[in-house]
Amino acid sequence: MSENTVNEPVTAKRVNPRLENYKMIWKRLKKNKAALIGGYLIIFFILVAVFGPYLLSQFGQYGPYQQNLLNKLQGPSAEHWFGTDNFGRDIFTRIIHGMELTLWIGFLSVLIGMIIGVPLGIISGYYGGRIDNIIMRVMDVLLAFPGILLALAIVSVLGGSLQNVIIAVGIFSIPAFARIVRGSTLSVRKLEYIDAVRALGASDFRIIFKHILPNVMSPIIVQATLRIATAVLTASGLSFLGLGAQPPMPEWGAMLSAGRTYMYEAWHVAFFPGAMIVLVVLAFNIFGDGIRDALDPKMKQ
Amino acid sequence: MTKFIIRRLIQTIPVLLGVTILVFSLMHLIPGDPAQIIAGESAPERQVEQIRERLGLNDPLHVQYGKFLGNIVTGDLGQSVRSSRPVADEIGTRFWVTVELAVYSTIVSVFLGLIAGIISAVRHYTVLDVVIMIVALFGLSMPNFWLGLMLIQYFSIGNWMPDWMSFMQMRASGWGDSWKQVVLPVITLGTAGAAIIARMTRSSMLEVIGQDYIRTARAKGVKERIVIYRHALKNALIPVVTVVGLEFGALLGGTVLTETIFAINGMGRLTIDAIRTRDFPVVQGTVLVISLLFVFVNLLVDISYRFLNKRIELD
CA B228, CA B209: separation in Å to the nearest integer?
8
Q: Do A237 and B145 touch (CB under 8 A)?
A: yes
CB pair distance less than 8 Å for B149 and A144: no
CA distance A252 to A75: 18
- Contact yes or no for A137 and B31 at CB 8 A: no
Interface membership of A168 toward B (CB under 8 Å) = no
Global pTM reads 0.86
- Find residues 47-106 of chain B whose CB sits inside 8 Å of chain A: none
Domain containing residue B134: 88-308
Are residues B43 and B164 located together in one domain of the fold? Answer: no
> Same domain for B125 and B242?
yes
**Nearest Cβ partner for B15 among A137, A263, A286:** A137
- Evaluate whether residue B137 is within a structural domain: yes
CA dihedral B127, B133, B135, B140 (to 10 degrees): -170
CATH of the domain at B190: 1.10.3720.10
Domain boundary among B44, B73, B102: B73
Whether chain B has a CB inside 8 Å of the CB on A139: the answer is no
Identify whether A195 is part of a domain: yes
Model pLDDT, residue B87 = 85
Same domain assignment for residues B143 and B63: no
pLDDT tens, residue by residue, B48-91:
888 887 777 778 888 888 888 888 888 888 888 778 788 888 88
Q: Which residue, among B24, B141, B142, would best test binding to A if mutated, counting the most A CBs under 10 Å from its CB? A: B141
Dist. CA B233–CA B209, nearest whole Å: 9
Task: Provide the CATH number for the domain around residue A188.
Answer: 1.10.3720.10
Judge whether B275 is closer than 8 Å to chain A, CB to CB.
yes
What average pLDDT does the structure give for chain B?
82
Q: Hey, of A156, A228, A268, which one would you mutate to test binding to chain B, going by the most B CBs within 10 A of its CB?
A: A156
Position B83 in a domain: no
Give yes or no for B26 touching A (CB within 8 A): yes
Within a domain: residue A244? yes
pLDDT at A22: 77
Q: What 3 state SS string does A27-39 have?
A: HHHHHCHHHHHHH
Q: What is the rounded distance in angstroms from the CA atom of residue A276 to the CA atom of residue B301?
A: 36
Q: Does B248 lie in the same domain as B184? A: yes
Residue A119 in domain: yes
pLDDT of residue B165: 41
A126 part of a folded domain: yes
Chain B's closest residue to A281, CA to CA, is B141
Q: Is A237 on the interface with B (CB under 8 A)?
A: yes
B100 phi-psi bin (left φ>0, alpha ψ -120 to 50, beta other): alpha
Q: How far is CA B280 from CA A167, A206, A277, B69, B73, in A?
A: 20, 46, 31, 16, 19
Domain-located, residue B80: no
Q: Which long-range contacts (CB under 8 A, 24 or more apart) does A48-51 make?
A: A48/A96, A48/A99, A49/A99, A49/A100, A49/A102, A49/A103, A50/A100
Residue B86 DSSP symbol: B
Which helix (H) or strand (E) element contains residue B235? helix B233-261
In terms of domains, do B184 and B287 share one?
yes
Q: Domain check: are B280 and B140 in the same one?
A: yes
Q: Which residues in chain A touch residue B249, judged by CB atoms under 8 angstroms apart?
A: 146-147
Tell me which chain A residue has its CA closest to the CA of residue B15.
Answer: A141
Give the HSE-up count for residue A230: Cα atoms under 13 Å, Cβ half-sphere. Answer: 23
Number of domains in chain B: 2
Please report residues of A whose CB lies closer than 8 A to that of B18: 137-138, 140-141, 144
pLDDT reported for residue B228: 83
Partner-chain contact B294 A146, CB within 8 Å: yes
Could you tell me the pLDDT band of residue B310, with boundaries at 50, 70 and 90?
low
Residue A262 Cα, gap to closest chain B Cα (Å): 10
How far apart CA B195 and CA B197 sit, in angstroms, is: 6
Count of CB atoms within 10 A of residue B150's CB?
A: 18
Give mean pLDDT, residues B177-195.
Answer: 80
Q: Which among B30, B144, B145, B256 is the top mutation candidate for probing chain A, defined by the most A β-carbons within 10 Å of its own β-carbon?
A: B145
Burial class (CB in 10 A: 0-12, 13-18, 19+), B130: middle
C-alpha R_g of chain B: 24
Same domain? For B54 and B129 the reply is no
Same structural domain for residues B159 and B47? no
CA dist A233 and A105 (Å) reads 10
Q: How many CB pairs under 8 A join A and B?
A: 127
Burial class (CB in 10 A: 0-12, 13-18, 19+), A202: middle
Q: Is A58 exposed, middle or buried (0-12, 13-18, 19+ CB in 10 A)?
A: exposed
Chain A residues closer than 8 Å to B153 by CB: 263-264, 267, 270
The domain of A225 spans: 31-58+90-300
Q: Which residue from B26, B142, B152 is facing A278, i.e. has the nearest CB? A: B142
Q: Is residue B247 part of a domain?
A: yes
**A112: region left, alpha or beta (phi > 0 left; psi from -120 to 50 alpha):** alpha
In angstroms, rounded to a whole number, what is the distance separating the alpha carbons of residues B80 and B87? 6
| A66 Cα distance to chain centroid | 31
Residue A90, helix vs strand vs coil: strand
Q: How far A25 CA sits from the closest chain B CA (Å)?
A: 21
A233 CB within 8 Å of a chain B CB? yes
Q: Is the pLDDT of residue B160 over 60?
A: no
What's the domain count of chain A? 1
Residue B223, min C-alpha distance to chain A (Å): 30
What is the secondary structure of B116-181 as a DSSP string? HHHHHHHTTTSHHHHHHHHHHHHHHHS-HHHHHHHHHHHHTTTTS-TTGGGGTT--TTSS-S-THH
CA distance A29 to A64: 37
One domain, residues B252 and B227 = yes
Opening angle at CA B258, ends A144 and B151, nearest 5: 145
Q: Does residue A23 belong to any structural domain of this protein?
A: no
Burial class for A194, CB neighbours closer than 10 Å (0-12, 13-18, 19+): middle
Q: Give the Cα separation of A263 and A265 in Å (integer).
A: 6
Q: Is residue A204 part of a domain?
A: yes
| Cis ω before A248 (30° cut-off from 0) | yes
**What is the rounded CA–CA span in Å between residue B275 and residue B286?**
11
CA distance A56 to A19: 40
Question: Under an 8 A CB cutoff, do A237 and B257 touch?
Answer: yes
Q: Using CB atoms, which residue from B21, B146, B156 is nearest to A256?
A: B146
Q: How confident is the model at residue B2 (pLDDT cuts 50, 70, 90)?
A: confident
Neighboring chain B residues of A287 at a CB cutoff of 8 Å: none
Rounded to two decimals, the ipTM of the complex is 0.84
**Residue A210: partners with Cβ closer than 8 Å, 6 or more residues away:** A202
* DSSP conformation letters of A97-108: HHHHHHHHHHHH
CB contacts of A241 in chain B (<8 Å) are 256-257, 260, 272
Distance between CA A36 and CA B300 in Å, rounded? Answer: 40
Residue B79 lies in a domain: no
Question: pLDDT for B265-282, tens place per residue?
Answer: 888 889 998 888 888 889
Q: Chain B: give the shortest CA distance to residue A201, in Å.
A: 33
The residue of chain A with its CA nearest to that of B199 is A289
Residues B123-135: tens digit of each pLDDT = 888 999 999 999 9
Closest in A142, A157, A281 to B30, CB measured: A157
Model confidence at B169, pLDDT cuts 50, 70, 90, reads very low
Touching check for B297 and chain A: CB below 8 Å?
A: no
CA distance B174 to chain A (A): 23
- The verdict on residue A67 lying in a domain is no
Q: How far apart are CA A213 and CA A126, in angstroms?
A: 11
Contact flag B253-A256 (C-beta cutoff 8 Å):
no
Identify whether B290 is part of a domain.
yes
pLDDT at A1: 44
Q: Measured between CB atoms, does B291 come within 8 Å of chain A? A: yes
Q: What is the mean pLDDT of residues B82-104?
A: 85
What is the phi/psi pair of residue B74, to 5°? Answer: -90, 5
**What are the per-10-residue average pLDDT scores of chain A (301 residues)?**
49 67 78 85 92 81 77 76 79 88 93 94 90 90 87 86 91 92 87 85 85 86 91 92 85 86 79 92 91 68 34
Residues B139, B262: one domain? yes
What's the DSSP call for residue B80? -
DSSP A278: H
Predicted confidence at residue A107, as pLDDT, reads 95
The reply to whether A5 falls in a domain is no
Q: Residue B238 pLDDT > 60, yes or no? A: yes
Distance from CA of A138 to the nearest CA of B (A): 7
Region of residue B263 (phi > 0: left; psi between -120 and 50: alpha; otherwise: beta): left
DSSP percent split of chain A into helix, strand, coil, nearest 5: 75, 0, 25
- Phi and psi of A84, rounded to 5°? -125, 160
Residues B127 and B176 in one domain: yes
A-chain CB neighbours of B189 within 8 Å are none
Among B21, B150, B252, the residue with its CB nearest the CB of A271 is B150
User: Is A186's Cβ below 8 Å from some Cβ in B?
Assistant: no
Would residue B262 count as lying in a domain? yes
Of B19, B47, B73, the residue that ends a domain is: B73
